[in-house]
Amino acid sequence: MSEIIPVIEARGLYRHYYQGSQVVKALDGVDVTIMPGEFVAVMGPSGSGKSTFMNICGALDQPSGGSVKLDGRDLAGMSRDDLADLRNEVIGFVFQQFNLLPRTSAIANVMLPLRYAGISGPDAVALCERALTAVDLYQRMDHHPNELSGGQQQRVAIARALVTNPKLIFADEPTGALDSVTTVEVLKLFQRLNAEGMTIVMVTHDADVAAYASRCLHFKDGRIIDDVRQSERAAQ
Residues contributing to the site for other proteins (CB under 8 A): 55, 58, 60-61, 80-81, 84-85, 87-89, 93, 95, 99, 101-104, 108, 112-113, 115-118, 120, 160, 164
| Residues 131, 136, 138, 142, Cα dihedral to 10° | -100
Closer Cβ to other proteins, 120 or 133, answer by number: 120
Give the nearest distance from C-beta 231 to other proteins in angstroms. Answer: 33
Give the nearest distance from C-beta 128 to other proteins in angstroms. Answer: 13
Give the nearest distance from C-beta 233 to other proteins in angstroms. Answer: 31
Q: How far is C-alpha 134 from the geometric centre of its chain's CA atoms? A: 17
Give the nearest distance from C-beta 115 to other proteins in angstroms. Answer: 5
Closer Cβ to other proteins, 1 or 121, answer by number: 121
Closer Cβ to other proteins, 96 or 191, answer by number: 96
Closer Cβ to other proteins, 2 or 103, answer by number: 103
